[in-house]
Chains A and B, each alone.
Chain A
Amino acid sequence: MATLLKSKYLIPLLIAFAILFPVISQNDYYIHVMTLSFIWMIGVYGLNLLAGYAGYLSLAHAGFFAIGAYSLGLLTTKAQVNFWLALLLSLFITCVIGTLIGLVALRTKDAFFAIYTLCVGYIIYLVIDKWESLTEGVRGLIGIPAPSNIGPLSFEKPESHYYLVLFFLLFVILMMYRIVHSLTGRTYIAIRNSEDLALTIGISTMKNKLTVFVLSTFFAGLSGALYASFIRFIGPDIGYISITFDLLTFLLVGGIGTLSGPIVGTLIIVWLSQQLQFLQDYRMMIFGPVLTLLIIFYPGGLVGGAIEWKMKIKARKANTASRHLRKNELEKGSNTAAMKKQVKEG
């Protein structure tokens, strides 16, 4: 079992499980929930890259999620653009808006950045809500098409949609992996730990911050576009701040600044919410305190906590091993001393 849990085997196992999930469960509702959590995960990865690695807490991510969703929705329903072209365009639109906002937002720091993005998020929400001639306002967009066929592949059935989303998720995870395990990823961590120091050692912080911000909005936009094509109906509520807080909760429960955190956190909270359906609007009465307690006692979330725990065990093992070694050496030492004594006396 222990060898099975090594990451070398764990990752292919998890992927295999994800691929086989629709076959195993055969339950459309479970597949629906799973697809939805995969979509959220992509958005959470976006937030994780920015907040977890670069240390910039953006509270505007629901806005970018909504921009992705609405771009896709408007392009497909109102402009009758082909789905895949619309998807590409909506990602492009999100990135352009992300760049523009990032250019200004990233000049601010800490509390200012959080407040600035909070307000940007609110502006995006208000614009969607009030600009009725374009977005249909509170009525929302209805009839967003499912992804159109690619050759023989159709995405009408829940399973096929599930695989499509899984494909995008794996792509995002791979991208995240490559970013985090590269010099770029280290650069982001350097910026998080001390921006002034990073600047001093010759890192172009603005360029890096902008890249990470745009990448992060790209993920949020992708997540939103997939959401729109999956749920087929969107209203301005998806841009509201509470969605940002949802993403943040997923991220923190799993573990901010870790690669597997978004997966763990999203799965746990989404499935838990399904089990706690009766709580409905009151779920925050549980998740709010959980979020707060977590940040006090387990700032690394579940994954961060597990890593810390592993390190402790390792450290303890190393400790006992070195103690053994020292003990042996001491015994050897005393032996030689005794021998010397004997020689002297003899």
Chain B
Amino acid sequence: MEILVQQLFNGLTVGSVYSLVALGLTLVYGILHIPNFAHGALYMIGGYITLTMMTKAGIHYWLAIVVSILVVGLLGILMERLVFHPLKGAPPIHDKIAAIGIMLFLEAFAQYVWGAEYHTMPSPYGQVVEVFGLTFTVQRILIISGAIVVMILLNLFLKKTYIGATIIAMSQNREGANLVGINTNKVAMLTFFISGGLATIAASLSAPINLVFPGMGNLVILKAFVIIILGGMGSVPGAILGGYILGFTESLGATYISNDYKDIIAFVLLVIILSVKPTGLFVKGGR
């Protein structure tokens, strides 16, 4: 019983990170229909910048995360402007390849600047708390609560603000949004900024319990793709729900099936889903 609760808690932690990454991915897909293979690289860069800010510049964890969000967000905007915007009318195969090109570059760049070795991120929240005989680290609690706060804020932003409404309008119909006077270019840039920011938050929160290294985004991005297919490409609640479903499946699978194969679970899940329903689960209409 204790193991089960502990694993559910772990699933909640992992799921929070996945949900945040998948949210950024799904926003970009929903609005620009680009499966952004470089999203994992943004996640990785976010981790490195927070780490560098803390260790080299010596600023506080929270401030480091804010700086990192700004930097990676700008990187996202640059990507949109320099690469995806010029490719707007190109055949669908092109933006996928361009995204792969960016990913390869960012990974090699990180390895060049920070080296190939694994780094551990220091965290001011290393304490352990005990509740009902179960031990939880504060960092893990922070990941869960942080992710939930970010998700609520994002939801409020999309639902309650005018700018958020323009994002939703554009995801529903790009031409229509343009016709009613929404600056689609600005919305696209904003979306990439938010997407990069979410990836950064996920990386910065989870880095103290994982590690920071050039390939850290690879598995996460693959799983984020699984999640947004699970939750419906472009759907915000789908990404959140999918993230937690995958998080729980993985941590329970690792305990009760095999720890060696825990990474395979996500992909087998995807293969099964797409085998049964080639357009993904919960996809509205045919795209």
Contact = CB atoms under 8 A, between A and B. Distances in A.
B83 interface: yes
Contacts of A314: none
A111 B104 CA distance: 19
A114 B35 contact: yes
B158 interface: no
B23 to A, nearest CB: 17
A72 interface: no
A55 B274 contact: no
A57 B83 CA distance: 19
A295 B98 contact: yes
Interface string B58-101: 00000000000000000000000001001100111110111011
Contact of B271 (A111, A116, A130): A116
Contacts of A208: none
Contacts of A234: none
B118 interface: no
A122 interface: yes
Given A111-B35, A116-B274, A282-B112, A123 B100 contact: no
B112 A119 contact: no
Given A111-B96, A112-B280, A295 B104 contact: no
B105 A119 contact: no
Contacts of B268: 123
Given A104-B274, A288-B104, A111 B233 contact: yes
A295 B229 contact: no
Contact of B222 (A105, A118, A288): A118
Nearest to A242: B104
Residue of B92, B100, B225, B261 ringed by the most chain A CB atoms within 10 A: B100
A292 interface: yes
B274 A284 contact: no
Contact of B101 (A122, A241, A289): A289
Interface in B271-286: 271, 274-275, 278-280
Given A108-B278, A114-B35, A282 B111 contact: yes
Contacts of B105: 284-285, 288-289, 292
Contacts of A119: 222, 225-226, 266-267, 270-271
A108 B229 CA distance: 12
Contacts of A110: 92
A296 B225 contact: no
Nearest to B108: A284
Contacts of A283: 108
Given A116-B274, A245-B104, A296-B98, A281 B229 contact: no
Contacts of B233: 111-112
Contact of A285 (B97, B108, B270): B108
Nearest to A288: B105
A289 to B, nearest CB: 5
A107 B274 CA distance: 8
A41 interface: no
A120 B101 contact: no
A62 interface: no
A287 B35 CA distance: 21
Contacts of A55: 91, 93
Nearest to A127: B264
Contact of B87 (A107, A130, A248, A295): A295
Interface string B124-137: 00000000000000
A118 B94 contact: no
B134 to A, nearest CB: 31
A178 B176 CA distance: 46
Given A104-B275, A109-B278, A296 B104 contact: no
Main SS class of interface, A: helix
Contacts of B280: 112
Contacts of A120: 267, 271
Nearest to B287: A110
Nearest to B272: A104
Contacts of B83: 292, 296
Given A57-B93, A107-B278, A111-B35, A291 B271 contact: no
B97 A122 contact: no
A47 to B, nearest CB: 11
Contacts of A245: 100, 104
A123 B229 contact: no
Nearest to A193: B91
B250 interface: no
A123 B267 contact: yes
B103 interface: yes
A126 B107 CA distance: 21
Given A108-B278, A284-B104, A299-B94, A123 B111 contact: no
A252 interface: yes
A115 interface: yes
A116 B276 CA distance: 13
Interface in A225-258: 241, 245, 248, 252, 256
A290 B33 CA distance: 23
Contacts of A289: 101, 105
Interface string A264-292: 00000000000000000111110111111
B222 A122 contact: yes
Given A256-B93, A292-B105, 5 more contacts: A112-B280, A119-B270, A123-B268, A282-B108, A291-B98
14 contacts: A55-B93, A109-B278, A115-B35, A116-B270, A119-B226, A126-B264, A126-B267, A282-B111, A287-B101, A287-B104, A288-B104, A288-B105, A289-B101, A291-B98
Interface of A: 51, 55, 57, 104-105, 107-112, 114-116, 118-120, 122-123, 126-127, 130, 241, 245, 248, 252, 256, 281-285, 287-292, 295-296, 299
The list of the 4 closest CB pairs from A to B, nearest first, reads A288-B105, A291-B101, A292-B101, A284-B108
